[in-house]
């Protein structure tokens, strides 16, 4: 695949038909190269709407760049000098003013904000979009509930240019939750025209069409193959991006993605084996950034409602069998923070991620299997997201080999990336590897998503503990009231309980690795781990 192929694809999107490249590009070839960003990745979006059913992680990239939120984060310098979002500081995106009261926050909208079809953005659009987010169900609605945003009545139109969000309770996470991807503001009248009685929120229409006011709009999408985004020149959410066109291609083979980068036919990629990133760093021909993923853990999950993983001794045996250091060395090539082998048995700090006490100990693992009545072992499946096979597959092979040594015969189950979230949320997979990073970088937020009982969709282990629920709720209340001592006690308490009950086994905190051409700058690290094209520049 050559650069001209990327440009030819963009030409087809811009012209509406597949016109040959030179007819469009020859007059301004240099400008076209500097204003077009060819991107390659292993997998792509399965939905253009963040609120869609089973929307996968690559879809976040579309939503972030094509839609606005009321507010966004300020930026700061992060690890390694990388530009990094400031989790505690906010600024307007669609809002030009934010006034936080005791039990509400009021937003004044930018009067010149328009959707990508030229329709003005109004407070009615904001309310309808927020109503949609708390009503549509699934992940979006649960995400909003994480910030105590649960009822349409909380969103009030004050006038055409002003909207108020009322608080149900004092919650430290409410304002940050308005800056994540889910509460994107959409063109409500356009979507309502394309909604149906069975689909009142227009999810089928927005699955295939971007209808926001964001910096980019999707002009072509071929699922599993490519996404083409064009700049929205009327965007007022921030400085107008320098990149006019993004050509994002899905290239399944990691070797091909690396070759495209090294030949200069692609400008950026963020899904390669860590060995490739390590080698490219040493070679120095590309810029490679490596940033620890905020509030993120790669883990091995076990369904604690299904035998034999309902037995704590079996779960602990698995925790002692994992070849942690081999995974760090042979899969991650050192580009990860170990989450194992802590010196203390209990958490020493009120923080997350936090390393467990576990280390590889086959003798102890075998003894626990015998104590659990499983000396003969058992058969199971070990599942992973094929959309991120570069890391998941070699890791699962190492885990499979290690578990076999204690009698656990695991058949590897490769689930296509487009189906992964749906299959994971069925909560029937007995054993699986996955990564989770909390969008809001607070321990109680991570545990609210992953360990709380009830309809917590990322509690894919089906774990339930009244004590855990009490500790999570206590930390949230303490945070809202500024009670630091109670907060520290509750955070240490729920981390300790998670490591004692061990429904999921932290392996490492991954890095977000991104390889770019030397003439590409402006990379920013965001909580959602996807590219933000709005700040990128090509020399």
* pLDDT, mean of residues 389-396: 93
Taking alpha carbons only, the member of 316, 351, 347 closest to residue 504 is 316
* pLDDT, mean of residues 115-133: 97
Strands (E), 242-321: 245-250, 268-269, 287-292, 296-302
Question: Any bridge partners for residue 91, and if so which?
Answer: 72
* pLDDT, mean of residues 174-203: 97
**What pLDDT does residue 418 have?**
85
Q: Who has greater pLDDT, 344 or 73?
A: 73
* pLDDT, mean of residues 419-442: 94
Taking alpha carbons only, the member of 189, 431, 218 closest to residue 309 is 431
Chain segment 85-110, per-residue pLDDT in tens: 999 999 999 999 999 999 999 999 99
pLDDT at residue 27 greater than cutoff 50: no
* pLDDT, mean of residues 143-151: 95
Share of the chain above pLDDT 90, in %: 87
Distance CA 361, CA 432 (A): 21
Mean pLDDT of the chain: 92
Dihedral angle, C-alpha 229, 233, 238, 244, nearest 10 °: 40
Distance CA 208, CA 188 (A): 16
Q: Nearest 5°: phi and psi at 434?
A: -160, 165
pLDDT at residue 2 greater than cutoff 80: no
How sure is the predictor about 455, in pLDDT bands with cuts at 50, 70 and 90?
Answer: low
Q: Judge residue 287's burial from the number of C-beta atoms within 10 Å of its C-beta, 0-12 exposed, 13-18 middle, 19 or more buried.
A: middle
**What pLDDT does residue 149 have?**
98
Taking alpha carbons only, the member of 235, 200, 199 closest to residue 214 is 235
**Among 52-56, 430-434, 500-504, which is the least confidently predicted range?**
52-56
**What pLDDT does residue 17 have?**
28
What's the distance, CA 517 to chain centroid?
Answer: 24
pLDDT at residue 26 greater than cutoff 80: no
DSSP strand pairing (378-385 vs 408-415): parallel
pLDDT at residue 123 greater than cutoff 50: yes
Taking alpha carbons only, the member of 232, 266, 275 closest to residue 247 is 266
How sure is the predictor about 5, in pLDDT bands with cuts at 50, 70 and 90?
Answer: low
Question: pTM for the full model?
Answer: 0.86
Distance CA 502, CA 445 (A): 18
**Among 70-84, 207-221, 445-459, 497-511, which is the least confidently predicted range?**
445-459
Taking alpha carbons only, the member of 102, 173, 172, 159 closest to residue 127 is 159
How sure is the predictor about 32, in pLDDT bands with cuts at 50, 70 and 90?
Answer: confident
Distance CA 435, CA 56 (A): 13
| Composition of the chain by helix, strand, coil, percent to 5 | 35, 25, 40
Q: Who has greater pLDDT, 54 or 517?
A: 517
Taking alpha carbons only, the member of 400, 407, 411, 402 closest to residue 375 is 407
How sure is the predictor about 11, in pLDDT bands with cuts at 50, 70 and 90?
Answer: very low
* pLDDT, mean of residues 357-371: 97
CA within 13 Å, CB half, 118: 0
pLDDT at residue 118 greater than cutoff 60: yes
- Residue 416 parent element (H or E): none
Q: Who has greater pLDDT, 482 or 30?
A: 482
Domains of the chain (ranges, CATH numbers)? 3-266+517-538 (3.40.190.10), 296-510 (3.10.105.10)
Share of the chain above pLDDT 70, in %: 94
**What pLDDT does residue 8 have?**
52
pLDDT at residue 522 greater than cutoff 80: yes
DSSP string, 74-99: EEEE-GGG-EEEEEEEEEESSEEEEE
**What pLDDT does residue 504 have?**
97
**What pLDDT does residue 363 have?**
98
**What pLDDT does residue 25 have?**
34
Distance CA 515, CA 280 (A): 8
DSSP state of 183: T
Q: Who has greater pLDDT, 343 or 300?
A: 300
DSSP state of 519: T
Q: Nearest 5°: phi and psi at 411?
A: -90, 125
Task: Check the CA dihedral 266-272-276-278 and report its sign.
Answer: positive
* pLDDT, mean of residues 525-532: 96
How many other C-beta atoms can be found within 10 angstroms of the C-beta atom of residue 255?
11
């Amino acid at each position: 695949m050559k650069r001209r192929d990327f440009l030819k694809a963009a030409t087809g999107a811009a012209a509406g038909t597949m016109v040959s490249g030179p007819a469009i590009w020859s007059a301004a070839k240099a400008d076209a190269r500097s204003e077009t960003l060819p991107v390659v990745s292993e997998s792509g979006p399965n939905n253009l709407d963040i609120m869609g059913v089973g929307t996968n992680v690559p879809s976040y990239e579309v939503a972030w760049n094509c839609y606005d939120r009321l507010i966004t984060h300020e930026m700061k310098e992060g690890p390694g000098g990388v530009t990094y979002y400031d989790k505690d500081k906010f600024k307007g995106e669609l809002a030009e003013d934010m006034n936080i009261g005791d039990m509400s926050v009021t937003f004044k909208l930018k009067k010149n904000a328009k959707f990508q079809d030229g329709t003005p953005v109004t407070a009615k659009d904001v309310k309808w979009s927020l109503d949609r987010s708390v009503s549509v169900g699934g992940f979006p609605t649960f995400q909003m509930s994480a910030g105590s945003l649960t009822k349409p009545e909380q969103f009030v139109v004050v006038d055409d240019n002003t909207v108020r969000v009322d608080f149900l309770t004092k919650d430290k996470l409410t304002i940050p939750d308005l800056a994540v991807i889910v509460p994107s503001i959409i063109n409500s009248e356009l979507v309502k025209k394309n909604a149906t009685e069975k689909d009142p929120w227009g999810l089928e229409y927005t699955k295939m069409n971007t209808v926001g006011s964001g910096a980019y709009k999707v002009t072509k999408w071929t699922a599993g193959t490519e996404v083409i985004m064009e700049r929205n020149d009327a965007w007022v959410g921030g400085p107008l991006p320098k990149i006019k066109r993004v050509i994002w291609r899905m290239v399944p083979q990691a070797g091909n993605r690396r070759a495209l980068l090294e030949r200069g036919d692609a400008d950026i990629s963020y899904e390669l084996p860590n060995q490739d990133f390590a080698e490219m760093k040493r070679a120095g021909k590309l810029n490679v950034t490596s940033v620890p993923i905020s509030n993120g853990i790669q883990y091995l999950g076990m369904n604690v409602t299904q035998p034999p993983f309902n037995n704590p001794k079996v779960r602990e045996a698995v925790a002692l069998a994992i070849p942690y250091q081999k995974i760090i060395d042979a899969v991650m090539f050192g580009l990860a923070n170990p989450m194992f082998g802590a010196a203390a048995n209990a958490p020493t700090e009120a923080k997350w991620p936090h390393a467990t006490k576990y280390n590889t100990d086959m003798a102890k693992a075998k003894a626990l299997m015998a104590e659990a009545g499983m000396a003969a072992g058992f058969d199971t499946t070990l599942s992973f997201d094929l959309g991120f096979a570069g890391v998941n597959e070699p890791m699962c092979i190492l885990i499979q080999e290690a578990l076999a040594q204690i009698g656990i015969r695991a058949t590897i189950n490769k689930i296509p990336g487009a189906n992964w979230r749906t299959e994971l949320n069925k909560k029937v997979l007995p054993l699986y590897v996955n990564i989770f990073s909390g969008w809001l970088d607070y321990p109680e937020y991570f545990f609210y998503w992953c360990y709380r009982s009830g309809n917590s969709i990322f509690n894919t282990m089906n774990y339930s503990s009244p004590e855990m629920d009490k500790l999570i709720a206590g930390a949230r209340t303490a945070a809202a009231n500024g009670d630091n001592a109670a907060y520290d006690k509750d955070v240490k308490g729920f981390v300790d309980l998670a490591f004692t009950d061990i429904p999921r086994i932290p392996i490492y905190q991954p890095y977000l690795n991104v390889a770019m051409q030397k003439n590409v700058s402006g990379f920013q690290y965001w909580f959602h781990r996807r590219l933000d094209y709005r700040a990128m520049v090509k020399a």
